[in-house]
Amino acid sequence: MKILVVGGAGYIGSHMLKRFQDTDYEIEILDNLSTGFELNSQNYKLHNCDLSNKDHVYKILKENKYEVVMHFASSINVGESYINPKKYYENNVINTLNLLNCMLELKILNFIFSSTAAVYGEPQNIPITEDEKISPVNPYGNTKAVIEKVLKDYDKAYGFKYISLRYFNACGAHIDGSIGERHKPETHLIPLILQTASGRRENFTIYGDDYDTKDGTCIRDYIHVMDIAEAHLLSLENLMQTKKSDIYNIGNSQGFSVMEIFNLAEKITNTKISFEISARRKGDPTQLIADNKKIKDELNWSPKYSDLKTILMTAWKWEKYLSKSN
């Protein structure tokens, strides 16, 4: 089976490629390398293409006859999405529609979509099941919710089959240390803490210590990127076997506060990490914790690398490599 991995040179996409190395699937990548890295393509064929160029996308899809498309490419910074929503609607909605419509024209009707827990906004229930009301509180979450609605409509109208995976907080690095998280600029919690520990960053900022939590900092569900890749593989297999569209949460079903992450990071790095407290960021919910029972029961998925110590140790190994390379 031939599969196109869109955004395969990025953080999660590159870990998906690594997981595919143990399979017989024929894999190619489409990426514009705006945030990804060519080294992450791991010797797979790379099509350097921007999804805004619909003619180019159509040409690649037509010439290569893929059966499935996995879509990892999107803009993901919640804070930036408030400042520049135009970028987010163009990249996450319009460009994704370009991809979907090219697929539709060529009758490529199998799609794995990277969605987000941000579609839930401030949830009414914790842990969050897939049946929780969709009520995003930031433009980033809005863009993902729009595409989920499009996919539902495309399935009803055209038989377009998909699985949408709602990630909670993706984190960690590959266990072998070969790839990891490398955003420019970096905005994710764990890399920011570890960059401060390694000396690449002067200090770490905690945004808000007045949340209604045990230590005042917000709580998130952290899921290792290798567990996310495994969820994609199982979703792919399920989609091709059942031809049934579905939505799954990808989370650890445990919540940790920012201070809990910070304190464990100090222990693992054996470093006193400089930090400061700042005001809350707009659009940051108090807590997001997944109920992952559905994907466990239906796809037999279970997180293997998502205990907090493993997450931080793999991320620290990667950070030490990056700090020596720079």
> Catalytic annotation on 162?
no
Identity of the amino acid at 164 = S
CA distance 117 to 27: 27
User: Is-contact 306 224, C-beta < 8 A?
Assistant: yes
Token reading at 209: 């210590």
Token reading at 13: 């996409």
CA distance 250 to 294: 10
Query: Among 110, 135, 162, 146, which residue's Cα sits nearest to residue 3?
Result: 110
Which among 11, 140, 248, 305 is annotated as catalytic? 140
CA distance 96 to 89: 10
User: Is-contact 8 31, C-beta < 8 A?
Assistant: yes
Q: Mark 165-189 as b/e (b = at least 16 C-beta within 10 Å).
A: bbbbbbbbbbeeeebbbbeeeeebb
Token reading at 109: 């009707």
Token reading at 184: 């420019």
End-to-end CA distance of the chain: 39
DSSP assignments along 91-105, one per residue: IIIIHHHHHHHHHHH
Q: Which residues are catalytic?
A: 140
